[in-house]
Amino acid sequence: MAAPLHPVVFWAQKAETVTLRVDLKDVKDPEIDLTKESLTFKVIGVGAAGLNSYQFTLNFYKSVDPEGSAFRITDREVNFVLMKDGPSEEWTRLTLSEEKQPWLKIDFDKLTVDDDSEDEELRRKAEFEEEQLKQIQKQLTESEAEAYTDLKKMYLCVYNFLQFIGYSYIFIYLTVNFVIKGQGMRQAYSKIILPLSVCQVFAVLEVINPLLGIVKTGAMAPLIQFTGRNMVLFVVIRGEDRMVGEPVLCYLFLIWSSIELVRYPFYMLCSIGQESMIISWLRYTIWIPLYPAGFLFEILSLWTAIPFYEASKKYNLELPNAWNVSFDMTTFLYIWIVGILSASPMMMSHMWRQRQKRFGSKKKVH
């Protein structure tokens, strides 16, 4: 819970009285409780933090006379005149506690001082004004930080929610029309390729966010996933028209979307500081069957594309040319398959360590 807001309170004294000046404008709904030992003050007004609820409690150094005391509310401030209870004397301080409160200030406008101490009081007044300026700057900085945090939460929540909606559409459409109704892949492909492409393009934000410090996770893992998926989707699949009707694509897209249907709600809840144990468990568990299946169908998609690229020679670069470099797409696809086979165990090990860290059994103390 946020700490209560304190108004700035200026105080001064004479031998018989203590005066308080509460720096609040347009005060409404005052709740004031004055006893011999303390003053409790709570109102709604305009202060350093704008229109808000402000409050404070003062436990006096010595007792006061509530019956002989009074207060007055004006448009610009609230004034108290508190009668000291007992012999007329100067208090060494206002509050029972010696702890200094940053919102409690000496009212230099009402303070009576000797000529010999005038320079000292001027110095103290200058220090007071400097401290007030620092407090204002601190409040502005804190307000800016809170606004940035709220904006960041909103941005991350909206991004993850929209990605979840996109992959939900892909998963539901393929499940209903391809798996259940037996619709041809070419027709299904035409319905889901645009939302899938949009989701994959905007996934670049998952690489940018860690680099900008918006999230605290590393950028390497999302970079590898973003690069790998987009190479498969935009270079291999969308680069060859004959790939459109291959059923293997449906199963690949179903696996991708199944992973994201859990991952994005998990991140969406994290962005607003919430957690669902069911979603967290799925996030760290569902990869166990889906990641190997995803690697398998990525390899099958590349394997399916090899004859097409071998016949079309698309993307090939043959000698001689201006760069004196050759490139064969078919060979590249074979190398890519070997790379997936080599990298998948490391990825699985990384995910297993994450799961153990989150749900691993605790060591028993004997």
Active-site positions?
291, 298
Place of tokens 């690949």: 252
Residues 55 and 119: their CA atoms lie apart, in Å, by 34
Residue 114's identity, in one-letter code, is D
Q: Which two tokens stand for residue 277?
A: 């144990």
- Phi first, then psi, for residue 309 (nearest 5°) are -75, -30
Q: Which two tokens stand for residue 310?
A: 């071998």
**Contact at 8 Å (CB) between 73 and 27?**
yes
Residues 217 and 235: their CA atoms lie apart, in Å, by 28
SS3 of the chain: CCCCECCCEEEEECCCEEEEEECCEEEEEEEEEECCCEEEEEEEEEECCEEEEEEEEEEECCCEEEEEEEEEECCCCEEEEEEECCCCCCCCCCECCCCCCCCEEECCCCCCCCHHHHHHHHHHHHHHHHHHHHHHHHHHHHHHHHHHHHHHHHHHHHHHHHHHHHHHHHHHHHHHHHHHCCCCHHHHHHHHHHHHHHHHHHCCHHHHHHHHCCCCCCCHHHHHHHHHHHHHHHHHHCCCHHHCCCCHHHHHHHHHHHHHHHHHHHHHHHHCCCCCHHHHHHHCCCHHHHHHHHHHHHHHHHHHHHHHHHHHCCCCECCCCCCCCCECHHHHHHHHHHHHHHHHHHHHHHHHHHHHHHHCCCCCCC
CA 156 to chain centre: 7
